[in-house]
Structure 1
Amino acid sequence: MAFRFEGLQILHQALQLSVEVNDLVKTFPSFELYSLSSQIRRASDSVVLNIAEGSTGQSTNEFRRFLRYALRSGIEVVSCFFIAKEKGYLSTEVFRHFYDKYEQLCKMITSFQKALQ
C-alpha cells in the first residue's frame, strides 16, 4: 500500500458509510439538493478525507488533530440525520441504522485517537 490511510479500518468504515449516505440522500426531495442533501454528503465525505489527510501528516499530534475534525464531521452527519428525520425524509428504522453506524464509527475514531497518545 502506497498510503498509510489505506490500511486503516476506520477509513474503510467511513468510506463505506459515505457511499451509503450518498445513496440515501438521493431519496430526499429535490429541493434539498443544494441544502441538506449537500451538507450531509459533504460532512460524510469529510470524515473520510480528514482521516486520510491526517494520516500523512508529519506528527502524531497532527494526526490526532485531523481525527478530531473527522469526529466533528461524523457528529455533523448525525445531526443532519436528526433534521432529515424531523422533516420526514427518514423512517425511524433508517435513522436508527445510520445513527448506530455513525455512533460506532465515532467510537472507533475516539479509540484510535487515544491509542495514538
Structure 2
Amino acid sequence: MGVEDLLAYQKAFDLAMDVFDISKAFPREEQYSLTDQIRRSSRAVCANMSESYRKQRYQKHFVSKLTDCDAENGETQTWLKFAKACNYISVEMYLATLEKSQEVGRLINYMINNPGKFGSN
C-alpha cells in the first residue's frame, strides 16, 4: 500500500486540483499572492502526507509531518475565505470547497490520533 491509496491523500489531491481550477479565474494581479499561496498550501497537504508516509516507521516523525499537513490545510481554508471576501469565488463555491477541506482535515486528524493504524510498528 502506498500513500496514494490513503483516502486522506486522494481527497487532498482532489481538493488541490479543485483549488487549481478555481484559482485559474483569479485576477492577474493575484498571480504572485493569493493564487500562488492557495495553490502552494493546497498542494503542500499532499506533499507533506507523502513525506509523513515515508516516515511511518518513526511514529513521532509521522505525526509531526501530519500536523504539517493539517496546518497547510488550515492555511488553504484561510485563502479560500480571502477569495470569497474578494468576490473571486461565489459563496456556494466557497462552502463546497471548504467542506472538502474540512473532510480532509478530519481524515488527517484521524491519522494523527491513530498513528499505529498507519505505521509499521
The TM-score normalised by the length of structure 1 is: 0.94
Identify the residue that residue 22 of structure 2 maps to in structure 1.
24
Provide the C-alpha distance between the structure 2 equivalents of 1:24 and 1:48, rounded to a whole number of angstroms.
18
Identify the residue that residue 46 of structure 1 maps to in structure 2.
44
Indicate the percent of aligned positions where both proteins have the same amino acid. 28
Provide the C-alpha distance between the structure 2 equivalents of 1:96 and 1:37, rounded to a whole number of angstroms.
18
Provide the C-alpha distance between the structure 2 equivalents of 1:75 and 1:6, rounded to a whole number of angstroms.
21
Provide the C-alpha distance between the structure 1 equivalents of 2:59 and 2:7, rounded to a whole number of angstroms.
18
Q: Which amino acid is 2:86 matched to? A: K
Provide the C-alpha distance between the structure 1 equivalents of 2:72 and 2:88, rounded to a whole number of angstroms.
21
Identify the residue that residue 86 of structure 2 maps to in structure 1.
87
Q: Where do 4+ consecutive residues of structure 1 move more than 2 Å?
A: none
Q: CA deviation at 1:6?
A: 2.4
Q: Which amino acid is 1:96 matched to? A: L
Question: What secondary structure sits across from 2:89 in the alignment?
Answer: coil
- The count of corresponding residues between Structure 1 and Structure 2 is 115
Q: CA deviation at 1:7?
A: 2.1
Q: Which amino acid is 1:101 matched to? A: K
1:103 aligns with 2:111: no
The TM-score normalised by the length of structure 2 is: 0.91
Listed as ranges, the gaps of 5+ residues in structure 2 are 117-121
